[in-house]
Structure 1
Amino acid sequence: MPPRHPVTDVGRVLNAATLTNSPVSDTKAATGGGSPATAGPTIHTLMVYDSSDARISAFAPILARAYYPKAKLVGIKSLSALASALSKYSRIDTLIIDVHSGPGFLLIGGASPSLSTVQQVLAKSGVTVQSKIVFEGCKVMEDPIGTCQMVEKICGPKTQVVGFTYYSVTTTFDIDFTDFDDAAEIQSFYNDFSMPYMVPGLPSAENSVGKVITHGRRWFRDEYDATLPEDGNFRHIESLESLKSYTINTAEEARRAQAEFSGPVVPGAKVTVTNVSAVARANKEVEATAEP
């Protein structure tokens, strides 16, 4: 049998290291993707991640292995690179965006482009996401209306948009199997092995023989603190499974949720928007109603 503790924490990741609650001015204008790929190929699951960030780059394969095992991973370093990656396809079933973020905005390559810039650049990609867009970064769904406005023009009529209201904090650890050549022994270890907040998706025992396996843990917090859960006494810390589930179907529900997420105590939530166009226009609907 392998030793009971072949595991060493080697790093931790915050999916928004230097967030403010408002987007900063874009320091480099993004020009967007190429010509619309209306007749281009299709792909089932595409995961794009900020490859300019070493920590995101290190955790992206772990995240994909845990939740999107069939995804194609593409590193991007700017908004224009994101649009270029999308423009290679006419249709994407599920798009995962793993970049730094805040309420209703993105941080890619150290830049935070305006909402209108993101709208325009993504629209130029010409892609349609048919099933789901998942934001894996921090706090983006504290502003579900702004988040939907960013991606509305690449959504199909039934596309859902998913994201979180809390900071997403992750850490990696190594399991050293370099001295083991028996997959059955490794499988026995895996059967008994667990850690709080560990993500699923450990490699198979056969693929672990003779290797150092890097895996990860992930939790969600209302405030940034990279302290490991077992080393602190936190009031608001959640696993993916313990986050509240919010579904937003209408503009009215979006305004109500946004008001709740703007309060003094923000609930830890995984938010799913099922009617992107209605939510994206929620504020305009209020303005129109207010006109004499």
Structure 2
Amino acid sequence: MPPIHPVIDVARMLNAQMLTQTPVTDTKAATGGGSPAAHGPSIKTLMVYDDGDAGIRDFAPILARAYYPQAKLVGVSSLAALSAVLSKYSKIDTLVIDVHSGPGYLLIGGANPSLTTVREALKKSGVTVKSKIVFEGCSIMRDPIETSRMVEPICGPKTQVTGFTYFSVTNKFEIDFSDFHDPKEIEEFYKDFTMDYMLPGLPSAKDSTGKVVAHGRRWFRDTYDETLPEDGNFLHIESLGTLKKLTVNTADEALAAQSNFSGPVFTGAQVTVTNVTAVAGAAQKSEALVEP
């Protein structure tokens, strides 16, 4: 059995829905700016990640291999760089945004831009996301209204927006196959290899032969704590599979969800907004309700 070297990095992060075991090969970093490309190419899946954060940068290929095997990975180090990357495309089917976040806001490149700033940067890109936007950052859907307002300028009429209410913590580990030259040995090892909260998507035995394989685990908690699950006694800890799957379709549902998620005890959930315009408009409805 090859030696296992467990934790070499721990960082917060998030995730999505599609499961596969195909490795990702297309990774690059973006550096330049750009103008809106209304007539630019379309792309099936684009995953952008915070290239300035070592934890996110190192884990992004593992996350993509697990859930977005066909994605094009692009690192960005600022909101302006994110807008520049998006501006290269006229349409994106699925956009994955892998940066730190909080309820209704993003943390990117060490900055915490305002809602208006993010809206304007996304609008400037000129892109339209047709199917879904998936946020991989922590807790963004504790405020589905502000999250929807933030991305509304790039959403099409049927675009869905997904994110999480809990913090997400990742744990990167390595499996050293440097001295293994027979893929069949590695295939046998993989058959019985498992860890709590481990992501799917291990490379094939052939692709692992003679290499050090980086893989990872991820779990969700109501408070941020890097303690490994096996080293703590946590009341609120979930895997992707045990998180509740909730949808928000209307302004009333958005206001109710925002209220439920704002308390000291709230549901660990993967939340999907199915009507971005209606949910984004809940802010105006809330203001109208409190007027005398």
Same-fold status (TM-score > 0.5):
yes
Q: Are the counterparts in 1 of residues 34 and 85 from structure 2 also a CA contact under 8 Å?
A: no
Q: How does 1:56-135 map to 2 (within 5 A)?
A: 56-135=56-135
User: How far did 1:201 drift?
Assistant: 0.4
Q: Which residue of 2 aligns with 1:14?
A: 12
**CA distance in 2: counterparts of 1:288 and 1:83, whole angstroms:** 33
Q: CA separation of 1:9/1:289 partners in 2, compared to 1, >3 Å: closer, same or farther?
A: closer
SS at match of 2:88: coil
* Structure 1 range deviating more: 78-87 or 282-291: 282-291
Q: Which deviations, in whole Å up to 9, do the C-alpha atoms of 1:185-237 show, x marking residues without a partner?
A: 10110011000000000000000000000000000011111000000000000
CA distance in 1, matches of 2:52, 2:158: 32
Cα distance, 1:53–1:253 mapped onto 2, change above 3 Å? same
- Residue type at the aligned position of 1:194: T
Distance 1:33 1:255 in 2: 37
Distance, in Å, in 2 between the alignment partners of 1:64 and 1:110 is: 23
TM-score under structure 1 length normalisation:
0.91
Aligned twin of 1:195:
195
The residue correspondences of 1:49-60 to structure 2 (distance < 5 A) are: 49-60=49-60
- Cα-Cα RMSD: 1.5
Output the CA distance in 2 between the equivalents of 1:264 and 1:11: 29
Query: Where does the alignment leave 5 or more consecutive residues of structure 2 unmatched?
Result: 15-31
Deviations 1:62-94 (Å, cap 9, x if unpaired)?
Answer: 000000000000000000000000000000000
**Counterparts of 1:59 and 1:169, CA distance in 2:** 11
Contact (CA 8 Å) 1:14, 1:168: kept in 2 or not? yes
CA distance in 2, matches of 1:7, 1:146: 41
For structure 1, the residue ranges without an aligned partner over 5 or more in a row are: 17-31
- Give the count of matched residue pairs: 275
Q: Which residue of 1 aligns with 2:174?
A: 174
Q: CA deviation at 1:289?
A: 5.4
Cα pair 1:33 1:125 within 8 Å, conserved: no
Alpha-carbon distance in structure 2 between the residues aligned to 1:172 and 1:282: 39
Q: Go from structure 1 to structure 2 and tell me whether the alpha carbon gap of 1:143 and 1:211 turns closer, same or farther (over 3 Å shift).
A: same
> Contact (CA 8 Å) 1:197, 1:219: kept in 2 or not?
yes
Letter in 1 for 2:225: D
CA distance in 2 between counterparts of 1:256 and 1:289 reads 14
The residue that corresponds to 1:185 in the other structure is: 185
Structure 1 residue 10, shift from structure 2 partner = 1.5
Q: CA deviation at 1:11?
A: 1.7
Instruction: Note the alpha carbon deviations across 1:27-60, whole angstroms, 9 max, x for none.
Output: xxxxx96432111000000000000001100000
Q: Does the Cα contact within 8 Å between 1:33 and 1:124 map onto a contact in 2? A: no
Q: Which amino acid aligns with 1:60?
A: A
Amino acid at match of 1:14: R
Q: Any conservation in 1 of the 2:35–2:84 contact (CA below 8 Å)? A: no
Within a 5 Å distance, the mapping from 1:1-292 to structure 2 comes to 2-3=1-2, 6-15=4-13, 34-288=34-288
What TM-score do you get using the length of structure 2 for normalisation?
0.91
Q: What's the % identity of the aligned pairs?
A: 67
